[in-house]
Amino acid sequence: MIINWAYFRKGCASCQKAQESLGRTKIQIKKEVNARQEPLEAQKTWDLLADSNKILIASGNKIREYSPGPDKKEEILKIVLGRSGTLRAPTLKIGNTFYIGYSNEMYDELVGKG
């Protein structure tokens, strides 16, 4: 599996779980970004997400799927930005799909693709 872009925050329990899940498979991360050193606020986040085909967002036990478009911007940003107003970690970009947040179900499916 090739991960085009990975966004992790040190000390983040969900990020640690994500990295452990990914560590069980053969993966290559082309670019890894430290969320504390390079926080992405609303506009930068939208610039990143807007050209994707699909966005999968893990929130609690739910996984929501979105196709980005101008009419979805506010709705998507409300979910993908944390309390600090920056992109939630972990976030992965695989192909033209973003995976935001962590759930066992979402990462089990990703690892299965590896």
Tokens of 14: 């969900």
26 close to 2: Cβ distance less than 8 angstroms? no
Number of domains in the chain: 1
> pLDDT band at residue 24, thresholds of 50, 70 and 90?
confident
Q: Is the pLDDT of residue 39 over 60?
A: yes
Q: How far apart are CA 107 and CA 33, in angstroms?
A: 19
Q: Count CA atoms within 13 Å of residue 5 on its CB side.
A: 15
Q: Which pTM value belongs to this model?
A: 0.94
- Its domain, for residue 88, covers 2-113
The tally of CA atoms less than 13 A away on the side-chain side of residue 61 is 0
The CATH number of residue 26's host domain is: 3.40.30.10
Bridge partner list, 57: 64, 100
Mean per-residue pLDDT for 42-63? 95
- Cα separation, 60 vs 101, in Å, equals 9
In the predicted structure, residue 74 carries a pLDDT above the cut 60: yes
